[in-house]
Amino acid sequence: MTTFHQSREDMHQGLVHELVGPGPRRPERFPIDLKQPVIPDEDAADKVWFDAETGEEILKGIRPTNRYGVGVLYPAPKNSEGQHIEREDPKVDGTPGLTVSDELSNPSIPDKEMEEHFKKLSMVGGSIDDGTDDDLDLSLANEFSPSSLGVSVNADLPDGAQLIVRAEMGRYEALEVTQRRGGYKYQCWVRRPVTVTAVFTAEDLRVEEGRRRKVKPTTGPELLNEGLLSIDVDAFSRTIDGNHLITLVLTNRSGTTGRWSDDRILFQAGFDVIAEGAAFTPYPELRTGGAENEDRHELAPAEEAESTALLYRRHQTFALGHGCAADWDKEPGETVSWVRAECLPSYEAPSITPTILLPKTKRELTVDMRPLADHERQKEADEQVGQLLKGYADWIKRKRGEIGDLPERHRAAAERHMENCEAALGRMRQGWQRVHTDPEVATAFRLANQAMLDQQARAALAPRPTVVEPVGLRIDAPFPSGEVPADRGKWRPFQIAFLLSVLVSIADRHDEDRELVDLIFFPTGGGKTEAYLGAASFAMFLRRLRDPGDTGTDVLMRYTLRLLTAQQFLRASSLICAMERIRDRRREHDLGVDSFSIGVWLGGATTPNRHDGQYGSVKLHQRLCKEPATAANKFLLTRCPWCAASMGPTEAQRKAAPRGGARHQPTVIPGYVKEGNKVVLKCPDRQCPFRDGLPLLVVDDDIYESPPSMVIGTVDKFAMLAWRPEARALFGLGPDGNRRTSPPALIIQDEFHLISGPLGSMVGLYEGIVEALCTDHSQERASKPKIVSSTATIRNYREQTQAVYARQRVALFPPPGLEASDSYFSTWARDKAGQLLPGRRYVGVHAPTLGSMQTLQVRAKSALLHTAANLDEEQRDPWWTNLCFLNSFRELGNSLSLLQSDIPDYLRGIRRRERLDTVRYLRNVMELTGRRRNDEIPRAIDELSTAYDSGQAVDVCLASNIIEVGVDIDRLSLMTVVGQPKTTAQYIQVTGRVGRKWLERPGLVVMLYGAAKPRDRSHFERFRSYHERLYAQVEPTSVTPFAKPVTRRALHAAVIAHIRLTQPDSLKPFPYPEHLVRKTTALLQERVDAVDPEEHEAVRAELERAKEEWRAWQPTDWEANPYGGDPLNGLMRYAGKPAPDSAPNRYWEVPTSMRDVDTECRITITQDYHQEGQ
């Protein structure tokens, strides 16, 4: 197996060489004797030079201040007012990185193809500035030429102890080199090492007031012009809790009262602080690890704050940077011997593995789906599951034994953690016991394992191209055998453990944990989807086994982003096909005669909501047949989920599209078949068992007509409940409002951390209606649905669960242990010797001397692009594509402009400076944002998956928050983040897109901080602390479903939704349905009391206002839209849609989306004041 660990080091060093210096020491460099700085001829002039005596680099034709922008210290002004000293002209050639001769002899290379490509990108629909850049660019003129940097440390200073400060930096001295032939003169700068050492004794530092000590630079004999530099190292000491809080600052005081030249500037600045006889102690801050000077722990409930303190007790802060980052040599739990002031910090976050090694044999614990799916292999299944349960029990016992060694302040939290672990173990044992004692549960469990086994095999199949021929369709690949590879079909331990833990509460509607919300909390890429898909499969099989005729929707699976929803639909479709194959072939015929099916329930921009109409499926299909290259494909499915035969417009059809307005002969679209007045999905391969129809529904009309077993949709879609009474079919209700089948018994909410803020508040309001519709009243005791959520990042999860679901109990799975590095089911990945395996490396870049984020982007991105192009061919693939995350469309537009001109120019400058033969060209720059058409997103992801050796790999992908979830591309290892993301949760999710195959392709994340943004600088100065405790930094979320802005916007919509879905279609809003309104308002009032009792009166008043308006308006129709209902006497209109002037102001605005709680105003021109005198 090829690994890319060394090439990651090369990429990191390439960034150091370009931003900090000195440059790389290439073997083809030409030595210059500075005692006689003469070169023989033009051949020598065309090489990279270095000092023959010292080996130090020589910069030719470019000032060091133009060459390097990180780790630069300018001389501090000497006058008392601290006025900025005028510098010499910083430019030699007008362009950083180029010499005058290069500028004249190397004209820019035109590239018409790229010009057209960028033109297309810049024309993508949508505004460039979305106004979401929260950080104000402040003018920090005095910060752009820093003169000092420092660190603060906390130290125990016994008698005789001392702190030693050692700095190894560089300065550049001007010189002139003459070419013997021709007499040409070259202006150059040679690097000279600068070493500074300062010693502070305990006696020096044992003072209350600041103590300053000034030292002169200690340098070797190569430093010319002795006395030119003046460098101070100052120490300021304060006593706190018996220790000394010491700030150590290195300052360049080489300035004069006039101009200075580059030889007075320090480069590669930084220093180490070594403790001799002293001890560094944790930094005395209440805000442990906070990156923005705010105590996140105080914002969290006491128990959660205690849990965080326990889990991260070994991850302490030992230094704080000032104008730089701080680093230290400590692994968690070890002592610190040195602290460093670092200008280009890096931190390697440990990789998380779900692998469990058995204590004695160190063999991997595996749970194979095959014996779990086969009742004849029950003994083997018992051994594997028993081994898992026993291993967890032993781990809990060991951890309990460690509680006594913990500090007293952590023991209460540790006890709670172990109690939660024991509760989870007990639920797993109950689940496994139920498999042995309940025949229906046992059968459903075995069938779910078989379905998951088949799903793993089918989802991994490579696409099989479909070719459209005159005589029909041909699949250009053999039909898959269906055999499951030996390396597949295995549960990750936490996945099967989760399935066992929720099994009883799914199977028994009156189980005590039925109303417990199970929250899967596992890092990105850990396999959360398979865990809850297994639970969904079990639930659907069990429902059919208990009643083969109970064929309605059983599982509602919801997401927040359409990209993730569409992707997970394709993923879950393989599972449904596997379940349907099991049902169809089962001899017992105990799963009913109706197919297992899945439907995707999204907005009209993503899927066709109807079959008829201008935007219905039939018209969409016609447009696809006529214009396969340009027409929108809203049928989502691009391959058969069972055999992987490609569906939709083929590559040949897209490429053969006519240009210039020429007419195109209608063609056949593989897999999309018009039958009567609808379009159905069929596998194009005649060998496939789904050749006559796939059990997949993408049109709302079909979903309402034949409710699928599983519905996947966005939470936004549920705002349409008030507008689409036919959606009652999803809840087992018929057109008459009476129950036909059982309601959904399992609700799955992925990426639960995104259900927060305004969106989460709207979801929480509607959730009361959704839960009421999903509650089964068929027995004497009502049964609420089981709720499962998942996330990789969350805080205040109990409060969020209470606000959204009105449920008091929630359980994390896997429950945490005593340390963040070990929960039994997830641990830090280590080798056999116990050393950490490669993780995702974060590199922080803060460059105030470069002056702007644009310049920093040019330098950093060019360095990464250039270094990747100069790796060995077989090492380039992970690093060739730079996935760039930007916080706003405005920043994305800026980056796109840089990629069009500045970065290509700078890359050519690097080639000339380094005297290389080739230059990196940007031939494939992609934008991956919500502005792209829905059907373009899957193709874009396929492009990102294209390997370097194909010659078609993407060079740079500019991405927005659309990549926060759902972009799982194993080949990507390189990311650039432009500006600190708005939340830590987003930062974790976004950077989790690279380095997913960490053992082979470890990730590299380059974080570019804005020099003019205080928040960015704060994160940079606490770089190590922030990244070492990354998950502990996640901000608490807020969900207020009954706050006034939410209730004014949508409370009436919830009332209408409940009434319309539970009553016959014939019901009209007049006469006023008193008893129905009373029943619904009581339901909502009960919800308020469970979620936020303080809002009881405010909600009651809002409901009373709505009732009075309804009575007074006497609407004759539900809708008052121009193309539906009665515009003059309807009850509700689409929110935000203008009403005609003739329409009375007697209607409610009802949202069609859950986004944007705050009302937007619209400006109109009025004639009311046009008359004279008004």
pLDDT tens digit string along 848-902? 999 899 999 999 999 999 999 999 999 999 999 999 999 999 999 999 999 999 9
Residue 95 lies in a domain: no
Q: N- to C-terminal Cα distance for the chain? A: 83
Residue 135 lies in a domain: no
Segments of 970-1126 assigned E as strands: 974-978, 1004-1009, 1117-1121, 1124-1125
Residue 117's pLDDT is 52
Amino acid identity, residue 437?
T
Residues 371 and 479 both lie in one domain: yes
Residues 866 and 824 both lie in one domain: no
Is the per-residue pLDDT at 627 higher than 90?
Answer: no
Distance in angstroms (rounded) separating the CA atoms of residues 451 and 572: 11
pLDDT 10s digits, 696-737? 999 999 999 999 999 999 999 999 999 999 999 999 999 999
pLDDT 10s digits, 568-606? 888 899 999 999 999 999 988 899 999 999 999 998 888
Distance in angstroms (rounded) separating the CA atoms of residues 735 and 727: 10
Residue 1074 lies in a domain: yes
Residues 567 and 510 both lie in one domain: yes
Domain boundary among 964, 999, 1033: 1033
Distance in angstroms (rounded) separating the CA atoms of residues 725 and 1057: 7
Average pLDDT over residues 47-73: 93
Distance in angstroms (rounded) separating the CA atoms of residues 1121 and 1128: 9
Highest mean pLDDT range out of 234-243, 522-531, 711-720? 711-720
Residue 552: both structure tokens together: 């309605």
Residue 259's pLDDT is 56
Residue 1146's pLDDT is 86
Residues 444 and 413 both lie in one domain: yes
Average pLDDT over residues 1097-1101: 97
Residues 425 and 483 both lie in one domain: yes
List % helix, strand, coil for the chain (3-state, nearest 5): 35, 20, 45
Distance in angstroms (rounded) separating the CA atoms of residues 904 and 80: 44
Spatial contact of 990 and 964, defined as CB atoms under 8 Å apart: yes
Spatial contact of 350 and 828, defined as CB atoms under 8 Å apart: yes
Domain boundary among 965, 999, 1033: 1033
Residue 1165's pLDDT is 56
Amino acid identity, residue 607?
T
Domain boundaries, position 48: 21-84+148-283+318-343
Residue 211's pLDDT is 52
Residues 488 and 587 both lie in one domain: yes
Residue 96's pLDDT is 34
Q: What is the pLDDT confidence band of residue 770, given thresholds at 50, 70 and 90?
A: very high
Distance in angstroms (rounded) separating the CA atoms of residues 248 and 908: 41
Residues 240 and 267 both lie in one domain: yes
Domain boundary among 774, 806, 828: 828
Q: Which residues pair with 193 in a beta bridge?
A: 170
Residue 923: both structure tokens together: 């031939």
Computed over every residue of the chain, the mean pLDDT equals: 87
Closest-CA residue to 49 (of 185, 165, 240, 189): 189
Residues 917 and 1001 both lie in one domain: yes
Distance in angstroms (rounded) separating the CA atoms of residues 291 and 393: 38
pTM: 0.90
Q: What is the pLDDT confidence band of residue 76, given thresholds at 50, 70 and 90?
A: confident
Residue 1145 lies in a domain: yes
Based on DSSP, count helices (H) and strands (E) in the chain, helices before strands. 31, 41
Residue 732's pLDDT is 97
Is the per-residue pLDDT at 104 higher than 90?
Answer: no
Distance in angstroms (rounded) separating the CA atoms of residues 341 and 394: 44
Q: What are phi and psi of 1006, to 5 degrees?
A: -105, 115
Residues 940 and 806 both lie in one domain: no
Distance in angstroms (rounded) separating the CA atoms of residues 591 and 228: 89
Please spell the DSSP secondary structure of 659-706, one letter per residue: -TT--------TTEEEETTEEEE--S-TTSTTTT--SEE-SHHHHHHS
Q: Are strands 672-675 and 1148-1150 parallel, antiparallel or unpaired?
A: unpaired
Is the per-residue pLDDT at 448 higher than 80?
Answer: yes
Q: Give the number of other CB atoms < 10 A from CB of residue 421.
A: 23
Is the per-residue pLDDT at 226 higher than 80?
Answer: no
Spatial contact of 540 and 452, defined as CB atoms under 8 Å apart: no
Highest mean pLDDT range out of 96-110, 198-212, 305-319? 305-319
Average pLDDT over residues 117-134: 44
Q: What is the pLDDT confidence band of residue 92, given thresholds at 50, 70 and 90?
A: very low
The CA-based angle 874-877-883, given to 5 degrees, is: 160
Residue 136 lies in a domain: no
Burial class (CB in 10 A: 0-12, 13-18, 19+), 217: buried
Is the per-residue pLDDT at 340 higher than 60?
Answer: yes
Return the CATH number at 930. Answer: 3.40.50.300
Residues 711 and 752 both lie in one domain: yes
The CA-based angle 962-963-968, given to 5 degrees, is: 140
Q: What is the pLDDT confidence band of residue 941, given thresholds at 50, 70 and 90?
A: confident
Is the per-residue pLDDT at 662 higher than 60?
Answer: no
Q: Are strands 1117-1121 and 1130-1134 parallel, antiparallel or unpaired?
A: parallel
Residues 770 and 872 both lie in one domain: no
The half-sphere exposure of 124 on its side-chain side, counting CA atoms within 13 A, is: 19
DSSP state of 949: G
Distance in angstroms (rounded) separating the CA atoms of residues 341 and 1035: 28
Residue 423 lies in a domain: yes
Residue 487's pLDDT is 82
Residue 637 lies in a domain: no
Residue 353 lies in a domain: no
Is the per-residue pLDDT at 385 higher than 50?
Answer: yes
Structural domain total, the chain = 4
User: Is cis: bond before 1071, omega within 30 of 0?
Assistant: yes
The H or E element containing residue 577 is helix 562-585
DSSP state of 919: -
Distance in angstroms (rounded) separating the CA atoms of residues 693 and 1082: 45
Distance in angstroms (rounded) separating the CA atoms of residues 1011 and 1014: 8
Residue 1138's pLDDT is 73
Closest-CA residue to 275 (of 197, 201, 364, 214): 201
Contacts of 939 (CB under 8 A, 6+ apart): none
Cα diameter, the chain: 104
Distance in angstroms (rounded) separating the CA atoms of residues 33 and 1037: 64
* Helix ranges, 252-328 (H): 296-299, 302-311
Closest-CA residue to 910 (of 858, 978, 846): 858
- Percent of the chain, pLDDT > 70? 87
Residues 1017 and 1062 both lie in one domain: no
pLDDT 10s digits, 961-1007? 888 877 888 999 999 999 999 999 999 999 999 999 999 999 999 99
Residue 1156's pLDDT is 63
The CA-based angle 663-666-669, given to 5 degrees, is: 135
